[in-house]
């Protein structure tokens, strides 16, 4: 009772003093107090499965004392110092070396940031920088995809392909252009997915030619789209993208902010298709969200151009918290947990199980389009599988299902499209099969109940 009064007071104070990401005053905050593995508890002691790993980031699960100890040790020794040119620290150097060993063979050099959007801003600026250094100052455009999510700072927002993020903050930064994503479930009727330009990569070539290859700096894509509703590519897609980028001298930026660090059952997701990017953005799983850290890794050719710049051609890009020693120390401790507990292999094994359990939900006439890779998955909620027709948005089936799931002990997220809704699951890589079963069962039951409740 006393606890409940305390949590009510916090909810009221939250409403009074906090603006939340994607703020919406009709939402009451759930006050979370504790976590262990894949589980969370709120202030009143209610237990939840963390079905989205926080925000796709708590890969090693909650309550890891070894990460807390690494932060404590580093903070007690040297919590912060600037990483600007002329200074460095052991954790930053060690982490950069570890990453060079883990990432694609052509990426050996790291610039650290504090999160995903900062990483993508760094990637866009670095792509432009590279072309200016190569005597092509007109190559400035960034091509991205509808449904893509790359963060919401000005340039990252302009690459993000979901209009809800643009409506109240336009105009977008100029020179950002978009193509369709290989969202196979929503391939236009009457078109064979095998030849659909969005799915073959041909849409990228068409856009590069339409804009003029001499104006395009880079193409950015998530290997598996995350916030857009967990959309994996068809098998040959990224090989085709790589080939097109090479043909037109366009840099390929892989946004592995979600897919990095084991999420898909490989260290980094393009590895599934044997493709290497020129620049890779990362964040989230590098510290499993325990402290904010992100970065970009760049190809040796790009690293050389940065290293050889000076004076007016210097790479004048920087963040106060770049290579933050405490964050890097936590990143190293996080990677030790990955290794000791074989988390990437476990994500592949348990991920295959998660995918199968999500496909089982398709037994319902209202669940379709199950998809994903490793420990990220989604299903579509549909009024009818015929014509893949979603429920009318005003019925709010997906958001009701998410609220019902929370009341039954599963926290997760929905993604609304013009034609329907997807419900996502991406629990921590340590989630047990019993917990996967529980999460999928709650999700399935919540969908059915939401359909009944909104009829
Ligand atoms: C693929 C991807 N890129 C970038 C970002 C932005 O990261 P941040 O919120 O840390 O700026 C996100 C966040 O969810 C993401 O999913």
| Secondary structure in 3-state letters for 316-353 | CCCCCCCCCHHHHHHHHHHHHHHHHCCHHHHHHHHHHH
Pocket residues for ligand 1 (CB within 6 Å)? 55, 115-117, 120, 149-151, 222, 226-227, 255, 257-258, 283
Distances, alpha carbon 360 to alpha carbons 350, 353, 363, 364, 371, in Å: 15, 11, 6, 9, 11
Selection from 89, 73, 72 nearest residue 322 by Cα: 89
34 touches 50 (CB < 8 A): no
Nearest CA to ligand 1 atom 16: 258
> 230 alpha carbon to ligand 1 midpoint, in Å?
14
The CA 359 to ligand 1 mean position distance, Å, reads 27
Across 265-419, the runs of DSSP E, i.e. the strands, are: 279-282, 294-299, 367-373, 376-381, 410-411, 413-417
> Is-contact 145 161, C-beta < 8 A?
yes
Domains and CATH numbers, the chain: 31-60+342-453 (3.90.1150.10), 66-340 (3.40.640.10)
What mean pLDDT value characterizes the chain? Answer: 97
Whose C-alpha lies nearest to ligand 1, atom 4?
150
Closest ligand 1 atom to Cα of 153 = 11
For residue range 423-440, list pLDDT tens digits in order: 999 999 999 999 999 999
pLDDT confidence of residue 262 = 98
The predicted pLDDT at position 320 comes to 98
Tens digit of each residue's pLDDT (9 = 90 or more) over 250-289: 999 999 999 999 999 999 999 999 999 999 999 999 999 9
CA–CA separation, 282 and 352 (whole Å): 24
List the chain residues with pLDDT less than 50.
none
Look at residue 247 in the predicted model and tell me its pLDDT.
Answer: 98
CA distance 118 to 190: 40
Please give the distance, rounded to the nearest whole angstrom, from the Cα atom of residue 151 to the centre of ligand 1: 5
pLDDT of the residue at 418: 79
């Amino acid at each position: 009772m006393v606890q409940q009064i305390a949590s009510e007071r916090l909810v009221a104070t939250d409403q009074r003093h906090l603006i939340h990401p994607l703020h919406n005053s009709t939402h009451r905050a759930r006050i979370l107090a504790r976590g262990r593995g894949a589980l969370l508890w709120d202030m009143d002691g209610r237990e939840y499965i963390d079905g989205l790993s926080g925000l796709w980031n708590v890969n090693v699960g909650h309550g890891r004392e070894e990460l807390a100890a690494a932060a404590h040790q580093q903070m007690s020794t040297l919590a912060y110092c600037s990483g600007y040119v002329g200074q460095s620290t052991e954790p930053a150097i060690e982490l950069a070396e570890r990453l060079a060993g883990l990432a694609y063979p052509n990426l050996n050099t790291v610039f650290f940031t504090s999160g995903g959007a900062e990483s993508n801003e760094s990637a866009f600026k670095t792509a432009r920088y590279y072309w200016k250094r190569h005597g092509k100052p007109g190559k400035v455009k960034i091509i991205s995809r509808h449904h893509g999510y790359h963060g919401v700072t000005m340039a990252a927002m302009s690459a993000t392909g979901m209009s809800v993020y643009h409506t109240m903050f336009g105009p977008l930064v100029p020179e950002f252009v978009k193509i369709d994503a290989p969202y196979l479930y929503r391939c236009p009727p009457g078109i064979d997915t095998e030849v659909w330009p969005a799915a073959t990569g041909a849409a990228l070539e068409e856009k590069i030619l339409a804009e003029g290859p001499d104006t395009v700096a880079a193409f950015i894509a998530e290997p598996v789209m995350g916030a857009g509703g967990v959309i994996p590519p068809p098998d040959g897609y990224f090989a085709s993208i790589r080939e097109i980028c090479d043909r037109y001298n366009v840099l390929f930026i892989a946004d592995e902010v979600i897919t990095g660090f084991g999420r898909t059952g490989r260290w980094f997701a393009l590895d599934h298709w044997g493709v290497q990017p020129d620049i890779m953005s990362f964040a989230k799983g590098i510290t499993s969200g325990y402290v904010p850290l992100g970065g970009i890794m760049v190809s040796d050719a790009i690293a050389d151009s940065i290293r050889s710049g000076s004076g007016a051609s210097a790479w004048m890009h920087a963040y106060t918290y770049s290579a933050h020693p405490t964050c890097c120390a936590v990143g190293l401790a996080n990677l030790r947990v990955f290794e000791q507990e074989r988390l990437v292999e476990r994500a592949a094994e348990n991920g295959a199980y998660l995918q199968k359990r999500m496909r089982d939900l398709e037994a319902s006439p209202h669940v379709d389009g199950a998809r994903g890779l490793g420990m990220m998955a989604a299903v579509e909620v549909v009024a009818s599988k015929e014509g893949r027709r979603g429920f009318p948005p005003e019925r709010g089936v997906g958001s009701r299902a998410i609220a019902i799931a929370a009341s039954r002990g599963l926290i997760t997220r929905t993604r609304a499209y013009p034609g329907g809704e997807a419900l996502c699951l991406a629990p921590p890589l340590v989630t047990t099969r019993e917990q996967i079963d529980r999460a999928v069962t709650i999700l399935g039951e919540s969908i059915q109940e939401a359909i009944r409740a909104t009829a």
